[in-house]
Structure formats: C-alpha cells, structure tokens
Amino acid sequence: MTRQTVKPAFPAGIYGITAEKFSVGRSNIEVARRMIEGGIRIIQYREKRPQKSFAQMLEECRAIRALTREAGVLFVINDYPDLALLVDADGVHVGQDDFPVPEVRRLIGPNKLIGLSTHGPEQAAAAVEAGADYIGVGPIFTTQTKEDVCAPVGLGYLDHVVRTCPLPFVAIGGIKEHNIGEVMALGAKTICLVTEIVGAEDIAATARRLQAACR
C-alpha cells in the first residue's frame, strides 16, 4: 500500500460527494468514475451505517481509491478514519459530533487532510485552533440531502469565512446550478453540489459545466 509523505493541497473547483440514495440507481463507484471524467479533482465518499455494512463500504472505497489514484484525484472519506486508513485515502471529513480533529490527527497522521464541517463563526475559529486543514461552510441553503442537517446558515456566514478564515473551505448545502453564482460572488473557490451532480442524467457533462462555471 502506498503511503503519502506530503499533505496534498486542497483544490479549487467542484467538490464531489457520493450519495447513492440520490444517484438514480447508479453505484457510488460508477458515480465517482463519471465525476472523474467530468474533471472533478476531489471526491468524498459519504455513506452511513446501517444502510451499508463496513464490508460493503470497504469494497466500494477500495474501488474508488483505485480510480482516484489513477486519475490523480483526491479521495476523502466522511466520518470513518479507520476506513480512510484501510484504503489509504487522502483525508477524512468529520462533523461537529464526530471524533475531534486532534484525535483524528493522532489516528491518521500528519500527512492526510482533515476537513471539519462548520455552521458558524465560533466553529470556524475552533477549527483553526484544532488544526483542521479545511472546513465545510454550510448548509448555505435549505437541503434534504442529509437527514440530520441543521438550519441553513445563509450567505452571511459564508461572507464571514471568506473575510476572516485562513483555512481553505468548501461551500455546501442546497447549492444548485441556478444559485451557484451567488456563492461564487462572495469569493468561494471550492463548491459542493450533491444531488445536482449525482442525480444528473449525464454526470460527467454536468460536472464539466459546473467546473467551468467555477473558473
């Protein structure tokens, strides 16, 4: 197994997230393959138990890790540092109620990315202090992608992060092709659209169009 020795840079553009529930019958592996074809440079694997067993998730992540490594695409795993270590992912993304960033760092080492979801200025400041490599900023708009999602934080929090936070960030939550311009106008460089991509009839073409919009 290859072990990276340098922490990867966080890329601008579209941040892809798997969501098999919304991918109209396509597997996470197929969705990841199409995202890569569409030029997406970072993909997060997001699945939950008990919908999938750890064995199923491990099999999927190994396949996606092979695809992303061949294409030079970053691969991040949501919530599960152990799964990230097993497949040698490039990083882990955690939420406010998951393992704290310093504990995740102890597990995965110094050379992998740690992302932390944040929903307000205090959490953004705490993420910097905790040693996160990047933060999630959202949900910007109302979203039904996650069952346990908090209320929208709006564009005001995004503006605060753009002006004050030293960390790279990904804007996420309810972002669609029709409102991505509002997010970009405030200075967001990395943007996540979930259902807009995984539910698209042509994922690769949609990803290419959205990537071009981010330039």
Set 146, 189, 208, 209: catalytic member:
146
| DSSP per-residue codes, 99-132 | S-HHHHHHHH-TTSEEEEEE-SHHHHHHHHHHT-
The H-assigned helical ranges of 72-188 are: 81-87, 101-108, 121-130, 154-164, 180-185
Set 46, 65, 105, 112: catalytic member:
46
Which residues on adjacent β-strands are paired with residue 44? 17, 76
Sequence-separated (6 or more) residues with CB below 8 Å from residue 140: 152, 153, 154, 155, 158, 171, 172, 173, 174, 175, 183
- At position 7, the amino acid (one-letter code) is K
Query: Hey, what are 126's tokens?
Result: 């705490």
Catalytic residue at 65? no
Q: Please identify which residue in the block is written with the tokens 């050379």.
A: 111
The whole-angstrom separation of Cα 75 and Cα 63 is 11
Set 23, 33, 105, 117: catalytic member:
117
Catalytic residue at 46? yes
Sequence-separated (6 or more) residues with CB below 8 Å from residue 177: 193, 196, 209, 210, 213
Euclidean distance between the first and the last CA atom of the chain, given in angstroms as a whole number: 35
Catalytic residue at 53? no
Q: Annotated active-site positions, please?
A: 46, 117, 146
